[in-house]
A = this chain, B = another copy of it.
Amino acid sequence: MKRFFPILDWSRSYTRETLSQDLVAALIVTIMLIPQSLAYALLAGLPAQVGLYASIAPLVIYAIFGSSRALAVGPVAVASLMTAAAVGDLAAQGTPEYLGAAIALAFLSGLMLLAMGFLRLGFLANFLSHPVISGFITASGIIIAAAQLKHIFGINAGGHSLYELTLSISAHIHEINWPTLGIGIFTTGFLFWARKGLKRMLLKQGLQPKLADILAKTGPVAAVALTTLATFALGLDTQGVKVVGQIPSGLPVPTLPPLDLQLWLKIATPALLIAVIGYVETISVASTLAAKRRQRVDPDQELIALGAANVGSAMSGGFPVTGGFSRSVVNFDAGAQTPAAGAYTAIGIAIATLFFTPALYYLPKATLAGTIIVAVLSLIDLGALRRTWRYSTSDFAAMAATILVTLGFGVEAGVISGVSLSIFLHLYRTSKPHYAVVGQVPGTEHFRNIKRHEVQVSPEIFSIRIDESLYFPNARFLEDTIYAAIANDPIIKHVILVAPAINFIDASALESLEAINQRLKDAGVQLHLSEVKGPVMDRLRRSDLVEDLTGEVFLTQYDAVSKLAPDSAKKAMRGKRQV
């Protein structure tokens, strides 16, 4: 029971002190979440209240199922962009079909996460390599920021890739609305300054650093208040400034996602991508925060909690949610001790939904766009490109491909090509494993690469050490290498495969070894193995190879050479053996 309901674990030791810490954190996160939830609904192309709905039920559900003590779930930038991309192809913004498709997307990705959780398929998220995720998030951040420009300029434009957006914005730039641009520039500028300057100012006023840090995070709320008041007071909405307008007040009502198989098939791929990418973001934040307090996060339980939260979001009229990075860090820094803080945040949002929505009538969309731009710029990490380039060109290739394809063709194509490329490059790398022809270091029992060391070898013996597990991508490599060696050097009578670095031999490599054994036999050469690891040997015993082997299996390479060649036959060789 406790595995599936972590709430049973932490609620037993819930004290008055924990309560007050959770309440403080909840208050701060609520203030941060109100503008964010509206902004991300806007980004997803949905009515503003959908953002609020997605910030109530999912938070309560996560409090019950979540294993992280400080994770704050809700609408986030990248998932909102992916929602817009997936739903935008199916229906026009503002239609009931558009909203229905967004709800179905949350429902389906929730079901997928639940299924993955029960089947313990959390490892699937690992197939997204870090460079691919990092590249994807950087590219998403750029697209999101570009998509906000239409709100900042007050023009009509659209598109899901950077290319489409650029074209569309250029075509409509003459429609620019100057009061809107003023609000957009003010908000963006103010929030940029607030990220660092506000804290510095508050510190000068004598506030405690921690409090100043938290108050500085309320910049967006200040921007919302200022620009809403200005719009109301100056009647800017009559001068073309687009405002959020009427938000229906009242709590969300239970909703069923559209039961339309055709629709579900169409959104299956984006739902899976949202599920996996949302999960990766969630588990990264959750385990980072848990490790700081030496707590644990259960990766499979997080799948279940995030899945249930998304199903809950869909059934209360919301859209896909995940664990947000900056919000969770604020929650953690503000002292949240248990997932109950999330439930209290949900209560805060519910109160806002019930009573404060009329106050948001005059909130300009340009303000929300400015909020989003400043938030997503922290997602863009171009330094990662440089770091990855320095460390590994193949990882850099996967990262660059993800960024370019995402910018050029949209989020789904970007993720899929990044994942495919990183798997391909991995298989390519292991298909040409490092190997060394080895000889004996004179006077010792050690064997080393003949290209790097002064060693002794017997001309009749060809000892090759492969520094990689043997499996299908490199099975033929092994055959080619050994056949080439014996074709070039007719003196060879023994081939020894030195295997201390081989962690695994699959059925393909086994067949290659059997073929090598047979071919060498036909050519009058014996095949031997040495230094085979225990588990590898256990498995080989289940095959016919050991029985059919023309040579022997030696415990050490020294045993092998001692038996196969008398000392007198050895001679010094360094880099002479052709391979």
Closest B residue by C-beta to A487: B296
A294-B523, A522-B291, A522-B292 known; A130 vs B508 contact (CB < 8 Å): yes
Q: Please, which residues of chain B bring their CB within 8 A of the CB of A484?
A: 296
Question: Do the beta carbons of A468 and B292 come within 8 Å of each other?
Answer: no
- One digit per residue, 1 when the CB lies within 8 angstroms of any chain B CB and 0 when it does not, for chain A 240-266 equals 000000000000000000000000000
Are B392 and A487 in touch, CB under 8 angstroms?
A: no
Number of copies: 2
Cβ-based interface call for A283 (8 A): yes
Q: Does A453 interact with chain B (Cβ within 8 Å)? A: no
Binary per-residue interface labels of chain A (494-520) against chain B in the complex, 1 for a CB within 8 Å, 0 otherwise: 000000010110111011100100011
Q: How large is the interface on A (under 10, 10 to 19, 20 to 34, 35 or more residues)?
A: 35 or more
Residues of B within 8 A of A395 (CB): 506-508
- Residue in contact with A467 in the complex, picked from B123, B293, B432, B503, CB distance below 8 Å: B503
Q: Which residues of B contact A388 (CB under 8 A)?
A: 507
In A120-148, which residues have CB < 8 Å from any B CB?
Answer: 123, 125-131
CB distance from A550 to the nearest CB of B (A): 14
Known: A507-B131, A507-B388, A510-B391. A294 touches B472 (CB 8 A): no
A480 CA to B64 CA, complexed, in Å: 22
A468–B399 alpha-carbon span in the complex (Å): 24
Return A477 CB to nearest CB of chain B, in Å. 7
Q: Which residues of B contact A480 (CB under 8 A)?
A: 287, 299
A121 CB → nearest B CB, Å = 10
Contact between B123 and A473 (Cβ–Cβ < 8 Å)? yes
A507 touches B391 (CB 8 A): yes
Whether A210 is near chain B, meaning CB under 8 Å from some CB there, is no
- Chain B residue with the shortest CB-CB distance to A290: B483
Give per-residue flags for A385-408: 1 if the beta carbon is below 8 A from chain B beta carbons, else 0: 001101110111001000000000
Answer yes or no: A542 CB below 8 A from chain B CBs: yes
CB of B126 within 8 A of CB of A295, answer no
Complex: A519 Cα to B294 Cα, angstroms? 9
Q: Contact check, A472 vs B287: say whether CB atoms are below 8 A apart.
A: no
- Among A47-55, A345-353, A421-429, the one that faces the other chain is A421-429
CA of A390 to CA of B501, assembled, Å: 24
A486 within 8 A of B: yes
**Residue among A295, A511, A539 with most chain B CB within 10 A:** A511
Instruction: Let me know if A471 is at the binding interface, CB within 8 A.
Output: yes
Q: Which of B422, B426, B471, B543 contacts A391 (CB 8 A)?
A: B543
Decide: B506 and A387 in contact? CB cutoff 8 A: no
Are A123 and B432 within 8 A (Cβ)? yes
At the interface, yes or no: A443 with Cβ under 8 Å from chain B? Answer: no
A480-494 at interface with B (beta carbon < 8 Å): 480, 483-484, 486-488, 490
Whether the pair B523, A291 counts as a contact (CB closer than 8 A) is yes
Give complex CA distance A299, B506 in Å.
22
Given A287-B480, A294-B486, A523-B291: A426 in contact with B507 (beta carbons within 8 A): no
Measured between C-beta atoms, what is the minimum distance from A218 to chain B in Å? Answer: 26
- Within 8 Å by CB of A427, from B287, B423, B543, lies B423
Report the separation of the CA atoms of residues A297 and B427 in the bound assembly, to the nearest whole angstrom.
23
> What is the chain B residue whose CB lies nearest that of A520?
B291
| Interface: A474 (CB within 8 A) | yes
Flag whether A431 is at the interface (Cβ < 8 A): yes
Quick one: given A291-B483, A486-B294, are A422 and B472 in contact (CB under 8 Å)?
yes
Q: List 16 A-B contacts (CB under 8 A).
A: A126-B477, A127-B473, A129-B475, A131-B507, A283-B476, A287-B479, A288-B519, A290-B483, A291-B520, A296-B484, A299-B476, A391-B542, A392-B510, A395-B507, A426-B506, A501-B503
Interface on A for B, CB 8 Å cutoff?
123, 125-131, 283, 287-288, 290-297, 299, 387-388, 390-392, 394-396, 399, 422-423, 426-429, 431-434, 467-469, 471-477, 479-480, 483-484, 486-488, 490, 501, 503-504, 506-508, 510-512, 515, 519-520, 522-523, 535, 539, 542-544
New A-B contacts (16) at CB < 8 Å, excluding given A123-B428, A426-B506: A123-B432, A126-B472, A126-B474, A130-B472, A130-B512, A287-B480, A292-B522, A296-B487, A297-B483, A391-B510, A391-B539, A392-B510, A394-B506, A395-B508, A429-B504, A501-B503
